[in-house]
Amino acid sequence: MDNDAQITLGDTVRPADSHPTKKVLCIEDERFIGELYIRALSKAGYDVTLEVDGARGLTLAQSDAYDIILLDLMLPNVTGIEILRTLRDPNKTPHLKAKIIITTNLEQREDVRQDIERQADGYIVKAEMTPRELVDFLNNID
């Protein structure tokens, strides 16, 4: 759904109020991509936090304060795959309410990719999805 179409539905209703504001953690080391995602997601009423470092991203993710985690795979310090594994390990992350969406431009071997997909709630090739299409995708993941 186009966000602007939602705004015109009622001038007193902000899109953020149409559903409880969802908190998104975007762990993405390519800052420009991160900025584009913040722009599109904020406009659609999401509350977005951007983190460019893998280690800090993992700490934030483990705080369990987010509804959605957008996780790049190639990250400095701690890779996305390590973050994913830590978040899915009940000994290291006892509780995680967030849906984990992998966002990457990396091409994996099919079986490696399937292994990652099994552990995540979504898998997106960034070049195949514009920020607006990403918003549509996130609106429909529940």
What is the C-alpha separation between 101 and 80, in angstroms, rounded? 11
* Spatial CA neighbour of 76 closest among 101, 100, 51: 51
Amino acid, res. 98: A
Minimum distance, C-beta of residue 27 to another protein, in the bound complex (Å): 16
Tokens representing residue 117 in the block: 């997909």
Minimum distance, C-beta of residue 7 to another protein, in the bound complex (Å): 13
Does an H or E element contain 71, and which? strand 68-71
In the stretch 111-140, what mask flags binding to another protein with x, by CB under 8 A? xx-xx-xx------xxxx-xxx--------
CB 39 within 8 A of CB 65: no
Minimum distance, C-beta of residue 110 to another protein, in the bound complex (Å): 4
Nearest to another protein of 99, 126 (CB atom): 126
Which of 33, 48, 61, 102 binds another protein (CB under 8 A)? It is 33
Question: What's the half-sphere exposure (Cβ side, CA atoms, 13 Å) at 63?
Answer: 11
Binding flag, residue 105, another protein (CB under 8 A): yes
Return residues touching another protein (CB under 8 A): 30, 32-33, 36, 39-40, 74, 81, 105-107, 109-112, 114-115, 117-118, 125-128, 130-132
